[in-house]
Amino acid sequence: MQIGSIEAGGTKFVCAIGDEDYRIKDQTQFPTTTPEETLQKTLDYFAKFDIDALGIASFGPIEIRQSSPKYGYVTNTPKPGWKNTDFVGTLKQKIRVPMFWTTDVNGSAYGEYVMSTLANEKIDSLVYYTIGTGVGAGAVIDGEFLGNAGHPEMGHTFLKRHPQDLDFPGICPFHKDCLEGLVSGPTLEARLGIKGPEVPRDHPVWDIMAYYLAQAAIQATLIIRPDKIVFGGGVVDEALLEKVRVQFDQLLNHYIDLPPLKNYITMPQVANNGSATLGDFALGIKALKD
């Protein structure tokens, strides 16, 4: 069996070919330019292979409700040129195999879910947050994505403000101080005037970030009751997650029984979002079976 994977990011596309054991047999990447050029390069790549199914995890917002006439579209994205692009329709003109179309973060969530399953972690459910330019999230329960639209937007809930951060208005264009408006990468520069990667690891802002991420983890915990919460994205490292675990523990105050926090709140198992390709393979296989 040969399965295709497209990780369609706002900066670059990663296309790959894998087998039913999720082994990568071929892989390429190219920058995300215009939709015409980028999707043509994608078609050119897959024309070289005989695939049985295709998993696609795309930047967004995208339409994933199959009942919608805009199913398969990148919708009102701020990315120049991509608004209202019929991504799946363009591919289907040339590639006639079952396709699974979902968000980039859902692809990563599914990859982490599959990896945990392969590692015999006895995981039935998993929540994945990505903390980068924005904040996205995906949730998998028993192999299915959570939510009517299969597309939670849990990066935009509101949180209790940190006492040392009350003057920061937040930067979400929709909600000001929602989770994304308080912890996405650009909030660091908005607060401190220096770029995120240049903020010293001992700066007190990381305690503020951890306070908010801990509350996000509490929301996911109390609402979804998942087996595991994974934080990925450029803002996250193990030092930050250790602060998140401490704050989570204090705020939740042992209200419910949970696994050891070291296993419950974790980094992705594969660095640099590498689990997304594996997730795409698994979703491609799922599309074939459904």
List contacts with a second copy (CB under 8 A).
124-125, 139, 141, 146-149, 151-161, 174-175, 177, 215, 218-220, 222-227, 251-253, 255-256
Nearer to a second copy, 123 or 270 (CB): 123
Q: How far is the CB of 228 from a second copy (least distance, A)?
A: 10
Instruction: Please say which residue, 7 or 165, places its beta carbon nearer to a second copy.
Output: 165
Q: How far is the CB of 240 from a second copy (least distance, A)?
A: 19
Rounded to a whole number of angstroms, the minimum distance from the CB of residue 213 to a second copy is 12
> Quick one: 152 or 185, whose CB is closer to a second copy?
152
CB of 163 to a second copy, least distance (A): 10
Minimum CB distance to a second copy, residue 282 (Å):
20
Question: Residues near 85 by Cβ (< 8 Å), separated by ≥ 6?
Answer: 35, 39, 73, 74
* Residue 166 CB neighbour total at 10 angstroms: 9
For a second copy, which is the closer residue by CB, 104 or 177?
Answer: 177
CB 14 to a second copy: min, Å: 28
Task: Pick the closer one to a second copy by CB: 54 or 146.
Answer: 146
**Min dist. Cβ of residue 25 to a second copy (A):** 35
- Alpha-carbon distance of 165 to 209, in angstroms, equals 10
| Nearer to a second copy (CB atom), residue 41 or residue 156 | 156
Query: Least distance in Å: CB of 124 to a second copy?
Result: 6
Q: Which is nearer to a second copy, 151 or 245 (CB)?
A: 151
- The DSSP string of the chain is --EEEEEE-SSEEEEEEE-TT--EEEEEEEE---HHHHHHHHHHHHTTS--SEEEEEE-SSB---TTSTTTTEE-S-SSTTTTTEEHHHHHHTT--S-EEEEEHHHHHHHHHHHHHHHTT---SEEEEEEESSSEEEEEEETTEESSTTS---GGG-B-PPPGGGTT----BTTTBSBHHHHHSTHHHHHHHSS-GGGS-TTSTHHHHHHHHHHHHHHHHHHHH--S-EEEESTT--HHHHHHHHHHHHHHHTT-S--S-HHHHEE--SSSTTTHHHHHHHHHHHHHHH-
Q: Give the count of beta carbons closer than 10 Å to the beta carbon of residue 20.
A: 14
- For a second copy, the closer of residues 30 and 158 by Cβ is 158
Closest to 280 measured CA to CA, from 6, 9, 31, 89: 6
